[in-house]
Amino acid sequence: MAQSLSSFTDLIRSVERTAVHLEMRDVYAIPNEDERFVAWRNGHRLDPDNRESWWRPWLDVVQEVTGKGVRLRRARIVSEPPSEYIRYEHSFTFTNIAAGEEIRWLPRRLASKLALPGNDFWLFDGRLVQFNVFDGDGHWVHTDQTDDPTTAGLCADAFEAVWDLATPHDQFSV
């Protein structure tokens, strides 16, 4: 069973200072019939002036959390050339930034010298790690959480190493 948006929303709303998210996959499963993805494949792009058409309710939560002073950063490690999914994701990342997230991209070839955890993760206030585990096709399998200080430190160091090498979204093209 997937983690519900409401339980994740409660978790992210509890953050006091920082939330960081490291994404390392080139594909996250979305159904081929997903209306937004199909529209993107057919040439539709989100209108920067039509905020109501953007990804809700996630962006509302981002605005709420960053509005109370939480720094929310996301780093994506991607292959080159990028997968279709990464090109799709890149096309609407401006909405996350408009909502208050900071996002950077790191070509996978530049990550080879970094020690990275085996799964994507969120790190909340430098203490709680939520690993998102996916199968080989990008389907979510389950979520693991830990507040083990060693694991949190390892994830914090990995994220900062990626962040330092990564390119800000507005300077990264796919």
- Tell me which architecture the domain covering 5-43+52-171 has in CATH: 2-Layer Sandwich (3.30)
> pLDDT tens digits for the chain (174 residues)?
345 555 889 999 999 999 999 999 999 888 667 888 888 888 888 777 776 665 668 889 999 999 999 999 999 999 999 999 999 999 989 999 999 999 999 999 999 999 999 999 999 999 999 999 999 988 899 999 999 999 999 999 999 999 999 999 999 999
Phi, psi of 43 (to 5 degrees): 100, -5
Task: With CA atoms as reference, report the closest residue to 95 among 48, 52, 34.
Answer: 48
| Identity of residue 48 | P
pTM: 0.91
Task: With CA atoms as reference, report the closest residue to 83 among 105, 64, 52.
Answer: 105
